[in-house]
Chain A
């Protein structure tokens, strides 16, 4: 058992402004499993991944990692943020070294340097090793972020919509890189948050939809039984792929329709009678007269 969420709920704000984002989230991720969570924007995916990383604490329920409750961030759970979160005043190497220095303080400087360079090579960024993030494209920045997280050798790799800010072609290349690296690193337990069902199917062993919020819950789990290594182009003709994909999309559309139907009943317009300034003025005047 690697990561477990038991009846986790989370909301923000107080009193009238309170909004419940997630409710009764139950999730188990086995060791070595690659899970994808797909959902609409604003349904609380980032909140969920932040709780897994330990950056947020749940209001109710428990987040367990290897059987122990998660109380704060830890180096064994690496996270790749959606917006890269690189430090702009550091070069690519320095950004990765910041993580390596923290995780392997006992190593010699040259050992750490080599380790960092190994991961930069893994994401094909060796030519840009001394560049600053501002000199890199979005895809390259996300690669640095990936290298930084992987260099920590985390037991659990959390990815919060790592590719959603990228263009389609870069996205495709990076998907392949992620899956190759994941295979090369002895299949670390991984969780990716995404809004792209195809991406989820390409990468993961299991896809779990997150129903639209507020009070979002997890949907049923869809297993992907397509053999690895998966080829993105070949996948388009794979019957399993088409079937699973349609099932998931149908499920998501149904959930979304249900939500919007529920919503339209809630918003009743208040009864408003228009006030005509001219008229009311005249009527008051006539009363005075």
Chain B
């Protein structure tokens, strides 16, 4: 269940601004136009936080707060006071009454979200309920590097995806970008001047609107100390320079839990076909491995009893291919699925050299593989 926020203000304008500010978050905003109404809503709804105006008719904010704090059932609800008067005397008076924070009008919506986000754990709306995105869905990736060539390189390397790569050369622009535009992933260069990459990471994590965006560190392969620091701070991963774009795709897919299974698995003529791309390597192997059990179980569920692994586009039979092949065969045995492998001459030849794969029988085509299992 979402969080509950109560805004108590005699101005409908302010109540609407507060309601709008929290619209992107998984929370419900309740309204009251004076202290008496506010106390009644607080008793009924037990909000997680109250944003309370001071100058109101019928019962002002001071009296409302005093009554809240003297009610054993309500006194634990954190209160942020909203006031048009920022004088020292006023601030001291509300601080004595036990408010958690105060905001002075005029205020920006972002500020009220930030202050509330410091007290309660705001989560973007639908974060948990949203259907998993697919790898081919549009995404926005922000690359923060003082060398624009890096963003260009990533943009160029990912042009086969439907992802948009935006570039920022200064840390200062990043927070504005992420709070104003939907951003799926941020990649921050650790070589930005004055440690600003690390500072930016902390700023992103401290802002309710950006705290759940996966953030990757971009670091030179040899900058081991910086990479260690990034890991300690909680970056979602490290992308090393020179950049391996397949690795970037794989890391982003994992961080966003993107459904990539359609790239490798398809059902054709009553057979589950696992098709490995020419770019196959350890990161693709990891990705396929993640989908393996669910895909095979789904196939069994759908009444399929045959699996074909198509390795014909793979350039070389390295250890990741062998491990993956063994994993598929093991799962097929477990689920009583027949299986065959299609391979190029090179892969067939290489597999003869390994103890684990020397007995694998390779087929030349999908039709041959199907026929061999009938």
Same assembly: no
